[in-house]
Amino acid sequence: MFYTIKSSTKLMSLDDVIKRLAKNKVVDGIIVVGSAANNTFNPISDYDIIVVLSDTKIKPYIIFTYIDKRITDIVFSTTNTIQKIFQYNNLTFPANSVDGKLVRWLQTGKIVFDRKGLLKKTQKKFQNKKLTKVADENELYSTWFNINYNLKQNKRMIQSKEPAYLTAVDLRLLYSIFQLFFAYFLFRNIEWRGEKEAIRYLEKNDTEYLNILKECLSETDRNKKVKLYEELTKLTIAPISDIWSGNVTSIVFTSEVKVNSNIVKEGLKFWNSLMQNSAKP
């Protein structure tokens, strides 16, 4: 069974919730992030809070709830994790990693409770430092593969006259288009900060891409939509490669493999060797 409970904080103010959390001995720190920490807070804004815990038996990661009648995301970390980050001399991990996200929240968030002073020390240490990469090679490669794979499959399925195939294309385009939107930033090494910030970035820096994206989202003719989707795919992956053309062969590895160009070449070479061996008498 899956369970929920009624929000006990729905009518509490954010300040009241922070005060209650700070009184609990297992809470070592609280950071308010997002619009509530800057000048973009508005009537429909939600709350985003980072709660740093000492060692606890329960290991929460995210709690969805309500504070002051506003949707609230509470993300949990631990004092040990913050201590580990503080020990780093260089920010060599990707911005998309758990540690990377914590660094950004520390840099941009408002520390409202800091029992041991660790959050402020870590914030000060990394305040003006930047993570040099958004994603590691495995994430870049798997995203590139999935984008091309989805394009090939969607173009294949739209050729069918069977209603089930065509409805499947409609469904697949829902996540395929969003994947392109997210990957646009991934392939340009631009940190993802949510849909709204991503749209604002495109409004300032790439109106051509944004206009095609909007046109693709609103297009109701399936065939026209797929053509726009293909155009969007080409633009999305342009910084790293062209889309797959013709009858290509590509490869994905198990998760423990650290992908690089030599590994990919060896993997494809291995596949070819299997085919050659199977052809021998």
For residue range 123-133, what is the model confidence (pLDDT) as tens digits? 999 998 989 99
Element (H, E) at 197: helix 195-205
Within a domain: 78: yes
- In Å, what is the CA distance from 98 to each residue of 82, 94, 135, 221? 11, 9, 11, 40
Torsion angle in degrees (nearest 10) through CA of 134, 138, 139, 142: 150
Cα–Cα distance for residue pair 139/134, rounded to 1 Å: 10
pLDDT in tens, 229-271: 999 999 999 999 999 999 999 999 999 999 999 999 999 999 9
Instruction: Clarify whether residues 172 and 104 are in a common domain.
Output: no
Tally the domains of the chain: 2
Instruction: Clarify whether residues 20 and 88 are in a common domain.
Output: yes
pLDDT of 281 > 80? The answer is no
Name the pTM for this structure: 0.90
Instruction: Clarify whether residues 35 and 101 are in a common domain.
Output: yes
Instruction: Clarify whether residues 196 and 160 are in a common domain.
Output: yes
pLDDT in tens, 87-102: 998 899 999 999 999 9
Element (H, E) at 254: none
Q: Which domain holds residue 34?
A: 14-126
Query: What CATH number is given to the structural domain containing 97?
Result: 3.30.460.10
Q: Three-state SS for 118?
A: helix
Q: Both tokens of residue 249?
A: 């062969």
Of the residues 126, 158, 189, which one is the last residue of a structural domain? Answer: 126
Beta-bridged to residue 88, according to DSSP, are none
**Is the Cα dihedral 251, 257, 263, 269 positive or negative?**
negative
Of the residues 98, 126, 154, which one is the last residue of a structural domain? Answer: 126
What proportion of the chain, given as a percentage, has pLDDT over 70?
98
